[in-house]
Structure 1
């Protein structure tokens, strides 16, 4: 299976980069992982709704340029479906069985995802009703994908 993460922004914190590298290394046993970072747009302090919409659209265009036609796109969105770890594992496995062997998880920037990206998504996934920093969300997502592969392989994992 091929897993692609398309994310907005660079990871600046060393401890987050280390965690991403660790889970990326662990995932090599189970899948081919590709992480694509697109640059974020600077948001002015008191940005208007219109300015924020334009920023999301610009970031969305960069994201869409990296989505291939054969990708099954899973957008991380607060209004998406919430899964337990076991349900996410089953979801990933079901995609492979259904012929979707190229999964692309999309993490937006600090303002979220544009409507164009959400419309392109085949599925919307939520980890919580809470908002997380998009840099930290990358670590959480990679850990859950790794956990999902361990579950699907019948290997032990922390409950």
Structure 2
């Protein structure tokens, strides 16, 4: 299975880039993982929030393939423990999922059309985090989940 983390927004700040590099390197032993940054919509400041979310949704929907499994990160999504997330990844692998897309939305969240397309909506926390930090946190959690699946010592239960 290939996993892609898609995020709308700007390039990583140096501290995020460095942290991401650590976990991306560790992940290469377990899974084909890639980060895809989707540039912010041009002239976003001139759009209303609903218009901006719809413009972002069009870009996302155009990039998605029909066979992609979409996991959208959203504050109203299902919360999971690390072990539950690891089980989810194992289920996707067992089901023959070719590509898992994890989506971090824009500054105002994810449009309803994309949320309806998602097979799973997940929340990392009831707290609000900057989008760049979500990328780092999620990448670390992805690595942690794979160490759980491989019964390695990184995650303490």
The TM-score with structure 1 as length reference comes to 0.91
Which portions of structure 1, spanning 4 or more consecutive aligned residues, are displaced by more than 4 angstroms? Answer: none
Q: Distance in 1 between matches of 2:155 and 2:62?
A: 37
Shift of 1:10: 2.0
- Quote the Cα distance in structure 1 between the aligned partners of 2:61 and 2:106: 14
Distance verdict in 2 for CA 1:63–1:43, change over 3 Å: same
Deviations 1:105-140 (A, max 9, x none): 000011111111111101001111121111110001
| TM-score (normalizing by structure 2) | 0.92
Tell me which residue corresponds to 1:29: 29
CA distance in 2 between counterparts of 1:147 and 1:12 reads 21
Mind listing any 5+ residue stretches in structure 2 that lack a counterpart?
none
2:78 aligned with 1:81: yes
2:123 aligned with 1:141: no
Rounded to whole Å, the distance in 2 between the matches of 1:11 and 1:78 is 23
What is the aligned partner in structure 2 of residue 39 from structure 1? Answer: 39
Query: Is structure 2 residue 33 aligned with structure 1 residue 58?
Result: no
Matched, 1:10 2:7: no
Deviations 1:17-66 (A, max 9, x none): 1111211111111111122111113654xx8xx81011111111112222
Equivalent residues of 1:4, 1:103 under 8 A apart: yes
RMSD between superposed Cα atoms in Å:
1.6
Deviates more, 1:139-148 or 1:54-63: 54-63
Any unmatched runs of 5+ in structure 1? none
Q: SS at the partner of 2:48?
A: helix
State the distance in 2 between where 1:24 and 1:33 align. Answer: 7
For the 8 Å contact 1:3–1:32, the answer to whether it is kept is yes
Asked if 1 retains the 8 angstrom alpha-carbon contact of 2:4 and 2:102, the reply is yes
